[in-house]
Structure 1
Amino acid sequence: MDGDHLKNLIAFGALLLSLPLSAAQLDLQLGAHTRTWQTEELLKHPLVQTLTIKNDVSYKKDMTYRAVPVAALLTGIKPDDHLQAVALDGFAAELAAAPLLNSKGARAWLAIEDPAQPWPPLSAGKHSAGPFYLVWTDPQAGHISPEQWPFEVASIKRMAPVAERFPALLPDAKLKADDPVNQGFALFQKNCLACHRLNGAGDAQFGPDLNIPYNPTEYFGADFLKRYIRDPQSLRQWPQAKMPGFSADVLPEKDLQLLIGYLQHMAGRKVKP
């Protein structure tokens, strides 16, 4: 490659970086009410407003967004429905519909990145949380976990419940509905399934499988596993680590123990993908 060619490539790359963000689209696959929204349409939505999110989960600071109540976009969705928010990077957040439909307490909003006023990158060399980001006001009121804040959202789909789609995740059918293991399974769906598969089951493309070939309860002592879930970087440090820590505010000690109980139970129910 000659010098002029290299200079041209560098200049072209600089030009691309200087260009404004382009508008994006959000696909809502809600059965009979499927619709695609463009950025410009959402920014002109009659319910759009300027919203300040205190201590934003992804940016770790207060952030201000133009946002629309998620409930206003979920036409035809009922509280007992199940949804999946899929991000551009393969993150697949499993979401019960009921919290998303709330108009009081913890309330879900779709933040919309305006190409003319782009959000900052999440970290050096990274993209922003846009083009669409699911954020919450008063999240403590609904015990909203970090996994319920998907960013870079590309689509939201109505899906069958996790238990129907992925039977390999199910605890022993002989257990009662209120058994602690089944309670732990519910917590696993809320906090882990967006990033991890188990027994090869799940839609996430992000983190490792949590049962095949080994379950974390098989190679972590109980105290170290709790510590790892609370603060992953305290045990394993590497630059590309993406797993968030789950504080006691998000995952109380009782819930953490129930989650580990589910993992221990599933270590005895391995199913090869």
Structure 2
Amino acid sequence: MIRALRRLCLLALWLALPLHAADLVIDLGHGTKTYTTAQLLARSDARDVTIPADVAFKRAMRYRAVPLKALLDGASPGDTLQFVASDGFAAQISAALIVRAQGSQAWLAVEDPTHPWPTLDEIKGDAGPFYVVWTDPEAMKIGPEQWPFQLASIRRQPSVAERFPAILPDPALKADSPVQRGFVVFQHTCFACHTLNGQGDAKLGPDLNIPHSPTEYLREDLFRAYIRDPQALRHWPQARMPGFDRKALSDQDLDDLLTYLRHMAGRKVQP
């Protein structure tokens, strides 16, 4: 009888817990740290932060947030940080953007279980429990792929070139060539959702070279239109790919990205 009552009490306690409370795991190579929602909201450096043009919600938003730099003690500017979301999104962000901020500042927005954020229309779901947002993102040209939501972990990783050699262009190309510039654009805008030649951590989108590069089966004008506004080419309410306007991806960056993808179509590596 006592055991049954104890089980009922535990069940009632579990049901009373906030549904959106969660843990964030941070591993910078010198021991894993886990932060709970309650711990983050109670920090002395937590602030109310207003984001005038929020990337995910497409409007002004106000968050309770912690300076992301304060959670990355031990990270050096040369580190590559991997931000992994619960939906399979995996963004690679240079630690220098966070620890050597010059104009833009990264914040970890923390969803308060008692005041949950609105539902995101594009995914018909929640952006919480954690979301990286930026104040004054234009100052450092912070792109939309550097705003990971549904964040679950932050980990220091070797460079992309070390981990995924099959995505590298021909090393004989000059560093300032359109292909090499396009490779940089690819890492910032595509690699968080897609793999290439079977390499990468993302789980959201298809591979962009195996079995075929989109440059091989889409006319260039249609491919450009698709990147600018995926719904304009093929309307699909459940589509997750965002459009990249000229503010997020300049015409020159788009030119370079297509040059890189065409180049990699000739460098296929079967997984």
TM over 0.5, yes or no? yes
Q: What CA RMSD, in Å, does the superposition of the two structures yield over aligned residues?
A: 1.8
Structure 2, unpaired ranges of 5+:
1-13
Counterpart in the other structure of 2:39: 41
Per-residue deviation, 1:102: 3.9
Return the alpha-carbon distance in structure 1 between the equivalents of residues 16 and 260 of structure 2.
49
Secondary structure of the equivalent of 1:109?
strand
Counterpart-to-counterpart distance in 2, 1:124 and 1:104: 31
Q: Which residue of 1 aligns with 2:195?
A: 197
Alpha-carbon distance change, 124 to 212 in structure 1, aligned in 2, over 3 angstroms: closer
Aligned residue identity for 2:245: S
Q: After superposition, where does 1:1-273 map in structure 2 within 5 Å?
A: 20-123=18-121, 126-273=124-271
User: What's the secondary structure of 1:37's corresponding residue?
Assistant: strand
Between the aligned partners of 1:22 and 1:196, the Cα distance in structure 2 is: 28
Q: Residues 202-254 of structure 1, C-alpha deviation per residue, up to 9 Å, x if partnerless?
A: 00000010001110111112222111111111101111101111111111111
Deviation at 1:180, TM superposition (A): 1.7
- Answer whether contact 2:20 2:111 (CA < 8 A) is retained: no
How far apart are the structure 1 equivalents of 2:250 and 2:204?
Answer: 25
Q: Provide, for residues 30-73 of structure 1, a one-character-per-residue CA deviation record: whole Å limited to 9, x for no partner.
A: 11153111111111112110011112111111111000111111
Aligned to 2:5: none
Q: 1:34 to 1:178 in 2, by over 3 A?
A: same
TM-score (norm 1): 0.90
Tell me which moved more, 97-106 or 33-42.
97-106
How far residue 179 of structure 1 moved from its aligned partner, in angstroms, is 1.9
Partner amino acid, structure 1, of 2:109: A
State the 1:26 CA deviation. 0.3
Q: Report deviation, 1:17.
A: 10
Q: For the Cα contact (< 8 Å) 1:33–1:76, is it kept in 2?
A: no
In the alignment, is the contact (CA less than 8 A) between 1:21 and 1:116 conserved in 2?
A: no
SS at match of 1:99: helix
TM-score (norm: length of structure 2): 0.91
Q: For 1:181-206, what per-residue CA distance to the aligned partner results, in whole angstroms no more than 9, with x for missing partners?
A: 11111110111000000100100000
Shift of the 176–103 alpha-carbon distance from structure 1 to 2, 3 Å rule, reads closer
Farther off after superposition, 237-246 or 119-128: 119-128
Provide the rounded CA distance (Å) in 2 between the counterparts of 1:139 and 1:221. Answer: 33
Kindly indicate whether the alpha-carbon contact (under 8 Å) linking 2:123 and 2:240 is maintained by their aligned counterparts in 1: no
Aligned length: 258
Amino acid aligned to 1:130: G
Deviation of residue 141 (structure 1)?
1.3
Look up the equivalent residue of 2:60 and give its one-letter code. D
Counterparts of 1:20 and 1:264, CA distance in 2? 48
Verify the 8 A CA contact 1:25 1:36 in the aligned structure 2: yes
Superposed displacement of residue 90, structure 1 = 0.9
Distance 2:126 2:173 in 1: 44
